[in-house]
Amino acid sequence: MTTKTSTTGKAGKQSTFGPLIVDVAVPVGSFYLFKEVFGAGTFAALALSSVVPAVRTVWSVVKERKANVFAALILVVNVVSLALSFLSGDPRLMLVKDSGVSSVIGIAVLVSVAMGRPMMTEAFKPFLTRGDTAREAAWERLAVGSGAFRRLERLFSGVWGVALLAECAARIVGAYTLPVDTMVWLGSVVLAGAITLAFLVSRKAAAEPMARMLTAEVNAATEPVRGEVAIAA
């Protein structure tokens, strides 16, 4: 039996966390660069710091040449929020824009859970299958034949949906109660905290039980083959 290398799994992890680094680290760093080094105003610095994530989102859609739900949601929210921010000239609305992205994605994730098609599956599946053909086949069998496996799959997405909505609420409150310069970096801290918490909870509550089920399913599928080999010998 042939097995894929871990390259697929590594690629899946990179595609999951690469955009996250761009969307979090680049805006914060570029905001302070434009404001402190180049002397741009607060609103201008916020607007310019949003360019890279927006371009990254458009490029991902063009490069993949297919509909990407997350990319489309982020792009729409960014475009609408930037338009409203430029019309109002309010830097705090620029900060709320980021919360809008989280809230839209969080709601979309929860809706997908309610519909039985959890959106987070494609993001965490490579972590569990590791690019291994046997584990991928086991995943497909469990996704069809195991209600417990599907419940854990929905639970994983549900945790992330709730975490994103909570993060959104916290950043909206901060955007209108704290200084803009403070909220630029604090907003990223809140986002990182929400992601870390969601990762830990979803891993313990859903990912680890699913990994055990996958391993058991792979072992169960290979037992008949081992038995045949033993008989032939």
- pLDDT tens-digit map of 99-157: 777 787 889 899 999 998 898 888 888 889 988 899 999 999 999 989 999 999 999 99
Which pLDDT value is given to residue 76? 64
Measured CA angle at 129 (ends 103, 13), to 5 deg:
50
The structure tokens listed for 148 are: 């417990």
Which pLDDT value is given to residue 1? 43
Tell me if 140 sits within 8 A of 151, measured CB to CB.
Answer: no
Tell me if 211 sits within 8 A of 129, measured CB to CB.
Answer: no
Q: What is the mean pLDDT of the chain?
A: 76
Tell me if 5 sits within 8 A of 131, measured CB to CB.
Answer: yes
Higher pLDDT, 155 or 229: 155
The structure tokens listed for 16 are: 């999951």
Separation of alpha carbons 69 and 57, rounded Å: 11
Q: What is the pLDDT of residues 168-216, one digit of tens each?
A: 899 899 989 999 888 888 887 888 888 889 999 999 999 999 999 999 9
Helices (H) and strands (E) in the chain, counts: 10, 0
């109660």: which residue's tokens? 177
Tell me if 175 sits within 8 A of 183, measured CB to CB.
Answer: yes
